[in-house]
Structure 1
Amino acid sequence: MIWFRPAIRFSPFAVVLALAACSPGAEEATPTLTPSPAEAPATAAPPGPDAETVGGDGSAIDLQALTAEDLSAETLPGELACSFSGADDQLLLLARGDVASGEPAVGVVKVSGYVERIAAPGGYDAMLDGANFAGRGKTVLVEVTGPAQGGGESPPRPGALTYQRADGASRLFQGLWTCGP
């Protein structure tokens, strides 16, 4: 009769925990496990209308309202626009694109006092139900979260804007996504 023993594998984490449990003072120290921002579920929304910055180097993501002066200094190509307005109807993102176009939609956000360009593939049509914009050191995700509010040609829809920085920091903003002329 042949006996064989299945290989037992231990993860490095399990070995460290086992060694820590055997070391002096182990009763006093209990390991605390917290997921990194990359492991946290993307759909989990923190309490409140807008979340604070999570992860990264610890500095806050300060997304500010775009002013008429900011917009007049930018030339955004495209026939039609989409915008995201946050609390108090502050314009946080404006993007323009052409209908039925393979050219990207181009937009702007204002972060810590600086107007920064972002772009999303697919032109205007690809922005209607939300979009994934990218720019230097950032990704801005817009998700439509509910049905249109009101009537007319371009009724706003509830949405969520997630600003993600290259260092892993992110911040969620609740508001309205509006697309049209």
Structure 2
Amino acid sequence: MTQSSLKIGVAAACLVTVAACAPDRTPSDEAYEGADTLRIEALTDADRSSANLRGELGCSFTIEGTGTVLLAMGFVGDNTPAEAIVRVAGQVQRLSSDDGGYDDLLDDAEFENAAGYEVEVERTSDEPVGGGESPPYPARISLETPDGDEANADGLWTCGP
């Protein structure tokens, strides 16, 4: 065995050792901060179709590796609160916005319900990630449960038709 072959073999063994010791994290784990067990879960097709959210246009929050975790709808040019759904601990929570309709969802949005769940979405950049009529923007979602548990995650906020 030549000296260069030996160096390559040792380097490969070191990489295998480091990879074996690194935690196995999915993109959705890396997106979260805060509580270890509280997760905002992906909405199912059944969740979305049975929600019957009222509104002309909507917004969604998507976490890479998880999927769409919040769906909101509102009326354009109307002060009727927008409606939203989010899934937490296996249960869909129906929420409404603090302010007006769709127009108030575009940059930042706050939702709550009578059970005590609070959700806030805040765009973290004015630069869209893609193009088109309704490009997604980098954003952060924050959830607080009635018990005071919190979860925060980075993702994409997309609003439009």
> What TM-score do you get using the length of structure 1 for normalisation?
0.68
Contact 2:40 2:151 in 1 (8 A): no
Q: 4+ residue stretches of structure 1 with deviation over 4 A?
A: none
Instruction: Flag the structure with larger Rg.
Output: 1
Aligned partners of 2:40 and 2:31: how far apart in 1?
Answer: 14
Structure 2 gaps of 5+ residues are: 1-29
- Give yes or no for the alignment of 1:124 onto 2:102: yes
Deviations 1:20-39 (A, max 9, x none): xxxxxxxxxxxxxxxxxxxx
The structural deviation recorded for 1:175 is 0.3
Give the fraction of aligned pairs with identical amino acids, expressed as a percent: 42
Equivalent residue number for residue 112 of structure 1:
89
Quick check: which one's helix share is greater? 2
Aligned partners of 1:164 and 1:89: how far apart in 2?
Answer: 19
Quick check: which one's strand share is greater? 2
Equivalent residue number for residue 145 of structure 1:
124
Contact 2:31 2:63 in 1 (8 A): no
- Give yes or no for the alignment of 1:87 onto 2:69: no
1:165 to 134, 140, 145: 145
Deviations 1:85-125 (A, max 9, x none): 01225000000000011100001001111111011121000
The structural deviation recorded for 1:179 is 0.2
Equivalent residue number for residue 80 of structure 2:
103
Amino acid of the residue matched to residue 104 of structure 2? A
Aligned partners of 1:81 and 1:161: how far apart in 2?
Answer: 16
- Give yes or no for the alignment of 1:154 onto 2:143: no
Contact 2:63 2:156 in 1 (8 A): yes
Contact 2:110 2:121 in 1 (8 A): yes
Aligned partners of 1:65 and 1:150: how far apart in 2?
Answer: 22
Aligned partners of 1:114 and 1:168: how far apart in 2?
Answer: 17
Deviations 1:41-89 (A, max 9, x none): xxxxxxx4211318xxxxx323210011111111000000000001225
Aligned partners of 2:51 and 2:145: how far apart in 1?
Answer: 22
1:53 to 13, 19, 35: 35
Amino acid of the residue matched to residue 120 of structure 2? L
The count of residues paired between Structure 1 and Structure 2 equals 130
Aligned partners of 2:76 and 2:57: how far apart in 1?
Answer: 7
Aligned partners of 1:62 and 1:88: how far apart in 2?
Answer: 13
Aligned partners of 2:146 and 2:106: how far apart in 1?
Answer: 26
Q: What's the C-alpha RMSD, in Å, of the aligned pairs?
A: 1.6
Please state whether the residue corresponding to 1:66 is helix, strand or coil: coil
